[in-house]
Amino acid sequence: MARTKHPASRTRNHTKPTGVATAGTATSSAAATPTRRSPRSPAAKTSPRQAGRQKKKYRHRPGTVALREIRHFQRTWKLLIPAAPFIRLVKEISNFYTLDVTRWTAEALVALQECIW
């Protein structure tokens, strides 16, 4: 017979309500009903020891934000000058300085454009 996986049984909090009696103990009608607390006033919520302290701002571990920024900027990048005008500008400048360089590879132009940013 083939083996099958059996899912683990889920455990639940098996806490008994405060007003429920267990077997063997006597209960009265007053003990069976749960007591309700009155809502606290706003002044009572802040205790004297917490009045001077503010909640600490959450800080990420060193390097976590840097890695997130690296991932973000590797995913999305924006060039300052669009590709076609930049290529025309590079060819114009290279023709101004020398007539020997007339051909550019696509990789060289992309590398120039990325290093300008």
Question: Using one digit for the tens of pLDDT, what is the confidence trace for 73-111?
Answer: 888 878 888 999 999 999 999 999 999 988 999 999 999
Per-residue pLDDT, 112: 93
In a domain, 104, yes or no: yes
- Asked if the structure places residue 111 within a domain, the reply is yes
Q: Is residue 92 part of a domain?
A: yes
> What is the model's pLDDT at position 65?
96
Angle (CA) 19-23-25 rounded to 5° is 65
HSE of 33, CA atoms in CB hemisphere, 13 A: 5
Evaluate whether 18 touches 34 at the Cβ level (below 8 Å): yes
- Mean pLDDT taken over the chain: 79
Q: What domain count does the chain have?
A: 1
Among 36, 34, 39, CA closest to 16: 34
Confidence (pLDDT) at 75:
87
Is residue 22 a part of any domain in this protein? no
112, part of any domain: yes
Asked if the model's pLDDT at residue 31 lies above 90, the reply is no
Q: How far is CA 71 from the centre of its chain?
A: 13
> Tell me, what's the pLDDT at 37?
66
Whether 52 shows a pLDDT value over 80: the answer reads: no
Residues near 92 by beta carbon (within 8 Å), at least 6 away in sequence: none
Task: Report if residue 50 sits inside a domain.
Answer: no
Would you state the structure tokens that stand for residue 106, as one six-digit string? 């696509």
Q: Residue 93: which domain range?
A: 79-117
**85-to-42, 46, 65, 93, 104 alpha-carbon distances in Å:** 64, 63, 35, 12, 15
pLDDT of residue 42: 60
